[in-house]
Amino acid sequence: MIARSEAKARTRQQLLSAAQEAVQKEGASALSLRGVARRAGVVPSAVYRHFESRDALLTQLILDAYTSLAETLEAAVGTRIAGDSWRRAAQALRAWALRHRHEFLLIYGTPVPGYRAPVETVAAAARVAAVFISRVPDTPQEHLNASLHAQLAGPARDFGVSPAQLGQALAETSQLVGALVLELGGHFVGTADPADHLWNQILEAQQQRQSGAEAPSEIT
Amino acid sequence: MIARSEAKARTRQQLLSAAQEAVQKEGASALSLRGVARRAGVVPSAVYRHFESRDALLTQLILDAYTSLAETLEAAVGTRIAGDSWRRAAQALRAWALRHRHEFLLIYGTPVPGYRAPVETVAAAARVAAVFISRVPDTPQEHLNASLHAQLAGPARDFGVSPAQLGQALAETSQLVGALVLELGGHFVGTADPADHLWNQILEAQQQRQSGAEAPSEIT
DNA sequence: CACGTAGGTGAACAGTGTTCACTGAACTAC
DNA sequence: GTAGTTCAGTGAACACTGTTCACCTACGTG
């Protein structure tokens, strides 16, 4: 009666949402294939009809997390490129990270098993990166060193920005990701533990840099 | 004949170095209590005479990693506080992270089991942080927002620096840690993958900020 | 209608962390 | 010097884990 492909898609979806729930609640290390199967009302070996292994299931969750984050960021910045686009993207990033802390660490924390094959995830990751890269104002007040310029020339072309913009984006997103990793890892306990103020401080400084911080651009 | 406490200390050391080797080679997720016991020539249950659980063993490795990192940083910057102290510390940080990538991720990556009790690790972490915090020049060219200032007032006193210095240190170390986490996680593949040039660029920018970017108001 | 495909089953294997009664040698006290 | 205690290490067991395999059987197609 019920179409087979439809039934397959349904249990696959049940497996995925069970896995997603487990990760969201307790983190990737607590994700058990058997537990997922249990919650989906299915025997453990049945999972292998849908995913090659536990790690493949986890990889799918990583891809989904990337997509979720990318959509959130894109929705936050909208289509227009305004002066506060970077700030909006950064705020949306932290909000998403705090709301989905285990997924954030799944993406930006320790790579999961031995090595995670970056091949499939590169495209998903690029979509997230693109939001930030495209929001860097192209006033390259900080000139790149020659080596980095050469290294980024090709990739920058792909993103449709200048090497200086790409370099700036990489440096600044490093700060954003680092602050979130440290916050989620509890490394600010005792200093800036609710990291809201530190986050605002960082955003202000970044905004100031990007809008051409120097009143006196003496140094050539 | 052989003193019992001495024998105990020896096997404990063997367990620890076996565990350290395992983590160094394959990462924390691959650390197996039974494997450690095997390499130490001991039955699995014997490990429980030395460590409360697998997570306790891992916690000890985290503490050791903190100590190793702190000693490396302290050796790199020396006792004097020179103008390039920050840069030296940062370079030493990256060198250590690349040389001990799994230990670095053990510290700054995804927290291991459910939640890692930060109580014991706080002191060890503070030693690492202190190296950077004490190397921020106290020319607070970027004034903090009032909320962050208030939040950091107490902790800054403990470190013997101004709130502005502490805030700056937290913001800049976030960038350093973030860049390393992204590099080790493979997030720069396709753009700045050998991240040496990006790292230098980041350090130059930080140095410029700290030396008071706007004017040559040299060291007082 | 007959047949092959394939999602789901259940048993098994090797591995894991952890517990527990136990042994026996090193220490302590008399 | 002998009796008693402490305790690092043992071995078996428990409950879990990921993964494989032969099997079943209902769907979809010829």
The arithmetic mean of pLDDT across residues B159-181, rounded, is 97
Query: How many helices (H) and strands (E) would you count in chain A?
Result: 9, 0
Q: Mark yes or no for CB contact A148/B201 under 8 Å.
A: yes
DSSP B30: G
> Digits of tens for pLDDT over chain A (220 positions)?
456 667 678 899 999 999 999 999 999 999 999 999 999 999 999 999 999 999 999 999 999 999 999 999 999 999 877 789 999 999 999 999 999 999 999 999 999 764 556 677 888 999 999 999 999 987 766 689 999 999 999 999 999 999 999 999 999 999 999 999 999 999 999 999 999 999 999 999 999 998 865 444 333 3
Residue A169 lies in a domain: yes
- Interface test mutation site (partner A, options B159, B201, B207, max chain A beta carbons within 10 A): B201
Residue A216 lies in a domain: no
Q: Is B154 on the interface with A (CB under 8 A)?
A: no
**Distance between CA atoms of A90 and B69, rounded to whole angstroms?**
30
Residues 6+ apart with CB under 8 A from B210: B86, B136, B137, B139, B168, B172
Closest chain B C-alpha to A33 CA, distance in angstroms: 16
Give me the domain span that covers residue B147.
61-210
| A80 Rama sector, left if φ>0, alpha if ψ -120 to 50, beta otherwise | beta
Q: Is A90 on the interface with B (CB under 8 A)?
A: no
Are B35 and B44 in contact, with CB atoms under 8 Å apart? no
What CATH number is given to the structural domain containing B199? Answer: 1.10.357.10
Q: Mark yes or no for CB contact A174/B182 under 8 Å.
A: yes
Say whether both A101 and A161 belong to one domain: yes
Residue B104 lies in a domain: yes
**Distance between CA atoms of A106 and B111, rounded to whole angstroms?**
11
Say whether both A170 and A194 belong to one domain: yes
Residues 6+ apart with CB under 8 A from B61: B16, B19, B20, B23, B28, B31, B103, B106
Q: Is B110 exposed, middle or buried (0-12, 13-18, 19+ CB in 10 A)?
A: buried
Token digits for A98? Answer: 């705090």
Residue A215 lies in a domain: no
pLDDT at B211: 82
Q: Does position B206 have pLDDT exceeding 60, yes or no?
A: yes
B45-94 pLDDT tens trace:
999 999 999 999 999 999 999 999 999 999 999 987 778 999 999 999 99
Cβ of residue A35 lies below 7 Å from strand D: yes
Residue B219 lies in a domain: no
User: For B41-54, b where at least 16 C-beta lie within 10 A, e where not — what string?
Assistant: ebeeeebeebbeeb
Q: Mark yes or no for CB contact A174/B171 under 8 Å.
A: no
Q: How many domains does chain B have?
A: 2
Are B111 and A28 in contact, with CB atoms under 8 Å apart? no
Residue count of chain B: 220
Q: What is residue B73's three-state secondary structure?
A: helix
What percent of chain A lies above the pLDDT cut of 70? 88
Say whether both A85 and A22 belong to one domain: no
Say whether both A125 and A69 belong to one domain: yes
Cβ of residue A211 lies below 7 Å from strand C: no
Q: Mark yes or no for CB contact B191/A155 under 8 Å.
A: yes
Q: What is residue A2's three-state secondary structure?
A: coil
Exposure of A135 in the CB half-sphere (CA atoms within 13 A): 27
Residue A183 lies in a domain: yes
